[in-house]
Structure 1
Amino acid sequence: MSEFLLAIHRDITSTDATPSPEQMKSAIKPYQDWIAGIGAQDKLIGNPKRWDLDGRFVKKGNTVTNGPYAEVKESIGGLFLIKANDYDEAVEIAKGCPIIEYGAVVEVRMAIPPVQ
């Protein structure tokens, strides 16, 4: 089994992608159930985290800037690790994310094992 990163991206500039408080409330239970289902299959590696809209970027020369930049439209709204046999299985798990209904995008990336 491989490890996969699921990163939930949100468009922070679109009002369409911003759920109302009622929508957020109704989305919490399906989201929790989705995560619990992944855990029940023993495929959840880490607890999901929500991330602040603010951030810092560290660049060459130890330059640190606040972020995300004004021109950036997306922010990471959630980030966690799962186990899956391959990309197809990881993508099927990601498709179950109920937040997609509210304009989020789930990015799926496979961890590359360290070079020996």
Structure 2
Amino acid sequence: MKEFMMLFRTERNDAPPPSPEQMQAMVKTWQDWIGGIAAQGKFVSTDALGYQGKTVHADGLVTDGPYAEIKEIVGGYIVVKAENLEEAVKLSEGCPTLSIPGGKVEVRDVMVFDM
């Protein structure tokens, strides 16, 4: 089996932050979806990404980030095991990000280098 990373992308919006009850419901949805992948023995790891960051450019310039000037943000990721890209894409079904208007899941294969 190969490893694949799913990046969770959403568009920035001016919606108010969720209430504690809404946040609990969202966490439960994520737990259920990730738990379903884990139950299949295909879960590797996951994390959310914070809002602080810097961008290091090839010329040595360091700017504030992450990419404040764009409309889309990457909110987190999951690494899964799958036989192929098609199976990894199938595992993205039910991802809570896909229930958000403008939500996307980018599925990429993880290249392993022996060093």
Give 1:73 deviation, angstroms.
1.1
Q: Normalising by structure 1, what TM-score?
A: 0.82
Mapped partners of 2:5, 2:96: distance in 1? 17
Cα 1:24–1:101, aligned 2, differ >3 Å: closer, same or farther?
Answer: farther
Give 1:29 deviation, angstroms.
1.2
Give 1:115 deviation, angstroms.
7.2
Q: What residue is the counterpart of 1:114 in the other structure?
A: 113
Mapped partners of 2:55, 2:3: distance in 1? 26
Q: What residue is the counterpart of 1:36 in the other structure?
A: 35
- 3-state DSSP class of the match of 2:51? coil
Mapped partners of 1:8, 1:80: distance in 2? 8
Mapped partners of 2:29, 2:8: distance in 1? 15
Pick one of 39, 56, 65 that aligns with 2:63: 65
- Moved >6 Å (runs of 4+): none
Equivalent pairs, count: 113
Give 1:23 deviation, angstroms.
4.0
- 3-state DSSP class of the match of 2:43? coil
Query: Where in structure 1 are there 5+ consecutive unaligned residues?
Result: none
Cα 1:19–1:91, aligned 2, differ >3 Å: closer, same or farther?
Answer: farther
Tell me, yes or no, if structure 1 residue 75 matches structure 2 residue 60: no
How do 1:1-116 and structure 2 match up within 5 A? Answer: 1-12=1-12, 14-15=13-14, 20-21=18-19, 22-46=21-45, 48-103=46-101, 104-114=103-113
Mapped partners of 2:43, 2:98: distance in 1? 19
Q: Is the 8 A contact 1:43 1:84 kept in 2?
A: yes
Cα 1:102–1:20, aligned 2, differ >3 Å: closer, same or farther?
Answer: farther
